[in-house]
Structure 1
Amino acid sequence: MRNDKNLLKCLLMFFSFSILASAQNKTAKITVKNNLDFARKEVVSIKGKSLFNIVLGKKTADLRIKNEGTAAYVVLQWADNNQDGKLDELLFLADVPAKGKTKYTIVFDKSIPLPESAVTAYSRFVPERTDDYAWENDKVAFRTYGPDAQERVEKKLPEGTLTSGIDLWLKRTDKPIINKWYAENTKSPGYYHIDHGEGYDPYQVGLSRGTGGIGIWEANSLSVSQNFVGYKTITAGPLRTVFELYYAPWTYYEVNETKRISLDIGSNFSKFEILYKSNRPLPNLATGIALHDNKGEVKINKKEGWFRYAEKMDGVFLGEGIVTNPKIVADAFTDVPETKGGSNLLVVTHPKDNKLVYYAGFAWQKSGQVEDAVDWDTLLQKQAKLLANPLKLTIKGN
């Protein structure tokens, strides 16, 4: 009997070792398919069961992904989205032709150098300028404001800002500018309000929603939150930056709001995921775009789910826009109250499951990305198509 037990134990150990060895030798093939009639270069992800099956029994630090068409290895980013110490997602930049496919191979070989990205997505809390939170990629940059900036307004101190709207930084370089501009502003206050060759910040949020702030539309009036009261940086890049902003309960509905914001390299649009709880059912959630002096042009396309404002800022074209699922849109219109600086293009939605998702962004003529409103409309139409037709990943093990 004892010998039988020892034999069974040996067989189980051998069987377990065989499974592990097989897993360690396993690679995988990825096919990324594009159904649209234009080429796409986007950040895609592997997560869940597919990721678990690939990395089981292996060192994630050894993982590499090769584009079979070019034989080049691609930039990777691991993400721990809930910050529990476990990797949830593997990101890489897919390059797929129009109406076509690109094939990739996953290998585990630490001798292959990991490529670095020439451009990056990035975000951070900025205590040196009161308490902004700022984020950027190679196309665009944004910021919004925290409790110290609000307290400065309430106490009538300098450098104060009271708004939950989203500010735009107009950059015309694909290099990072957040750290540089804030550092220079510390030495020379007002530095980033002047274009030194990389862009500048002429955008005024004021009482408006900036580009992508939210509110509740009721009785012909927009109720909004104040500055964020807390934040969490989830990942700073290089392919995607993700962070969360937390807001104190606001309005009669006692809305507890979390903004989860992400930005990928190569995109003009930040993704906003508004997660909320409230003591009473909300009539709606609205997101908006500042109309500034109301001299620009509004375009509303409820059928495709995109909404934009086209204006001149310091004599140069600037296009701002919001893109979302048209099925959740209840209405869209301009709101021009008597209070100066509070005009918005509003998109009123009926979100589901206490979550609202939309994309908000811009393009500036001096960046070389657009020349006019026609170009900006084309980018918005393209973004709407991207959301409706995500790239499709197929993963097969070898």
Structure 2
Amino acid sequence: MKKSIQLGLATTAVAALLSSCKTQQNGQTKMVLHNTSEIVLPQKAVEISRKAIANADKSTNFPILLHGNDTIPAQVNDLNGDGKWDEIFLVTDFSAKEKKEVELKWSETDPKFTVRTSVRFGKRAAKDQPVKPATEEILPANEVHKALGYQRYQTDGPTWENDKVGFRHYLDGRNAKDVFGKKTPGITPENVGINAKGEVEDDYHQMYDWGRDIFPVGNSVGLGGFGLLVDNQIKRLGILPTEKVNTIETTTFKIVSEGPENSVLSYDYHNWKVNDNLYQAHETTSIWPGMYGYQNTVSVDGLKGNEQLLIALSNINNTNPLQEVEAGDFVCLIQHGHLTYDKQWILGTAIIVPKKGYKGFIEAPKTGEITQSFLAKFDVKNNETVTYYAVAGWELSADPNFKDATYFANYVTTLAKQLTAKVEVKVN
């Protein structure tokens, strides 16, 4: 599932890197990465467009970014699937107002940086067939979990993770987002959710050295799922687990990129029927190292003007008031408590949503297509993208301070300010 054009991470001495990787000595590019903000930016994601690089024809080679005696881990992403990379993606630390002078070289050899993001997706062709790795899927309306009578997908759908936390998407028609708590920074095993016979098996609701699934979803759409408010009626993207025919005619899924610095997933929901209307929805999910969360970007076409976009925060087991805090360009909806299965552990969850278009939040009713959730409302236009973030801080993660509600809230609001901060890229 790893794409050969992708690469990875881990800061390494330049001398060691150059001794192990054959680099091209011509066509070098110098650039300046400038943190324009007054705040420190740890593990800040930076995207450099292909159009900004003069020698971008080296599309089959690997970028090496040199900053003094250090190497900044980077990878190239082909976002539109045309076989040519569209951006260089990197994650690095910035002090306040820092300018990093960086030299870009191209290596004919993959430098094999440490892997800190990953996507796992497996499916089986029939109930008696073993699960096999896959990079894409097309799901018709009549082939959802309940209609098939068995679970086709490993972990109910794709999982994605970084060095801090993992998530999964219920591709089987429910389209909810779940949380894997991670106790270690390494990538979780590829066979999670598969038994020795290659069958789909729910083995991730028990504790392993790496962690486990910790988040109850029920009939919510989990942490960061979305839907629509149509004529003040809450409408789910897809169906409840008891239903046999999807409200979405065809769902397509694809792993766009899987690299050590960044992994990207894409979903298209074709002819999503709500009342007498058909919508076309698109979703892109991205994750990079260092953040206890993921980025999601969604858009909907076919809007008639009587709809609002809903972004969800499951509140199962929550007994504390929801916090609504403005930070940077965002509004943070934060909850904290024993939000895990059977209330075993303390977990903080949050969605960080843009101020633009935000119209407050509602709580879902106890019955209906989406329940047990807080729902952030947005005024949107056709095909207008909304980018937001979903965050999960578990007390058994690498940061035990998430046990404290104030600490988690501060983490979320600080992260929102860091996400607001801009890094300018100047190519010489």
TM-score (normalizing by structure 1): 0.81
SS of match in other structure, 2:374:
strand
Match of 1:269 among 285, 293, 318: 293
Partner of 2:366: 337
1:383 CA displacement: 2.2
Q: 5 Å matches for 1:62-101?
A: 63-68=63-68, 71-101=69-99
Q: What do the CA deviations read for 1:24-64 (whole angstroms, capped 9, x no partner)?
A: 8442222222223224222312114212x1335x5752642
Residue 83 to residue 61, structure 1, CA distance change in 2 (3 Å): same
CA 1:340 to 1:279, structure 2 compared with 1: closer, same or farther past 3 Å? closer
The alignment status of 1:138 with 2:163, answered yes or no, reads yes
Tell me how far 1:126 sits from its aligned partner: 2.3
- The match for 1:238 is 260
Which amino acid in the other structure matches residue 281 of structure 2? E
User: How many angstroms does 1:218 deviate by?
Assistant: 4.2
1:221 positional shift: 3.5
**Are 1:378 and 2:410 counterparts?**
yes
1:387 positional shift: 2.7
Change (3 A) 1:321 1:28: same
- How many residue pairs align between the two structures? 354
Q: Which structure 1 residue ranges, 5 or more long, are not aligned?
A: 1-22, 151-162
Cross-structure match for 1:214:
226
**1:205 alignment partner, SS class:** coil
> Equivalent residue for 1:181?
192
Task: Determine which of 116, 124, 128 is the counterpart of 2:112.
Answer: 116
In structure 2, the partner of 1:287 is: 311
8 Å CA contact 1:302, 1:332 repeated in 2? no
The letter for the 2-side match of 1:381 is: T
Answer yes or no: is the 8 Å Cα contact 1:310–1:318 preserved in 2: yes
| Structure 2 CA distance for aligned equivalents of residues 59 and 167 of structure 1 | 36
1:226 equivalent in structure 2: 238
* Aligned-partner Cα distance in 1 for 2:393–2:359: 26
Counterpart CA distance in 1 for 2:106 and 2:179 is 41
CA distance in 2 between counterparts of 1:338 and 1:79 reads 42
**In percent, how many aligned pairs have the same letter?**
21
Q: Kindly tell me: are residues 48 and 350 of structure 1, through their superposed partners in 2, closer, same or farther at Cα, counting changes over 3 Å? A: farther
In structure 2, relative to structure 1, the CA distance for the partners of 1:85 and 1:342 (3 Å cut) is same
Q: Is the CA contact 2:194–2:201 (under 8 Å) kept in the aligned structure 1? A: no
Deviation at 1:353, TM superposition (A): 5.0
* Secondary structure class of the residue paired with 2:391: strand
Shift, 1:109, TM fit? 5.7
Residue matched to 2:347: 318
Instruction: Report the Cα offset of residue 288 of structure 1.
Output: 0.9
1:289-317 Cα deviation digits (max 9, x unpaired): 11113424411125641112212123321
Per the alignment, residue 135 of structure 2 pairs with none
Note if contact 1:32-1:94 (Cα within 8 Å) is conserved in structure 2: no
C-alpha distance in 1 between matches for 2:159 and 2:405: 27
CA distance in 2, matches of 1:395, 1:183: 47
1: CA distance, partners of 2:391 / 2:425: 26
Aligned Cα root-mean-square deviation (Å): 2.7
Which secondary structure state, in structure 2, belongs to the residue aligned with residue 381 of structure 1? helix
**1:316-359 CA deviation, whole Å, 9 max, x = no partner?**
21111111221220112333424698111111011345222211
Contact (CA 8 Å) 1:206, 1:341: kept in 2 or not? no
> Contact 1:331–1:347 (CA<8 Å) still a contact in 2?
yes
1:388 and 2:417 correspond = no
Contact in 2 for aligned 1:272/1:359 (Cα 8 Å) = yes
* Among 271, 279, 282, the residue aligned to 1:258: 282
Tell me the distance in 2 between the aligned counterparts of 1:324 and 1:67: 33
Separation in 2 of the partners of 1:41 and 1:175?
Answer: 17
Asked whether 1:306 is paired with 2:336, we answer: no
* Alpha-carbon distance between aligned partners in 2 of 1:276 and 1:333, rounded to the nearest angstrom: 20
- 1:167 partner amino acid: D
Residue in 1 that maps onto 2:55: 54
Question: Using the alignment, how far apart are the partners of 2:409 and 2:307 within structure 1?
Answer: 30
User: Are residues 200 and 37 of structure 1, via their aligned partners in 2, closer, same or farther at CA, if it must alter by over 3 Å?
Assistant: same
Give the structure 2 partner of residue 159 of structure 1: none
Point out where structure 2 has 5 or more consecutive residues left out of the alignment: 1-23, 124-130, 132-150, 240-247
Q: Distance in 2 between matches of 1:255 and 1:233?
A: 23
Q: Do 2:224 and 2:351's aligned partners in 1 also have CA atoms closer than 8 Å?
A: yes
Offset of residue 130 of structure 1: 2.1
Structure of greater Rg: 1
TM-score (norm: length of structure 2):
0.75
Per the TM alignment, residue 368 of structure 1 is displaced from its structure 2 partner at its CA by 2.9
Greater helix proportion: 1
Q: Is the 8 A contact 2:293 2:389 kept in 1?
A: yes
Relative to structure 1, the CA distance from residue 184 to residue 103 in structure 2 (aligned partners, 3 Å threshold; closer, same or farther) is farther
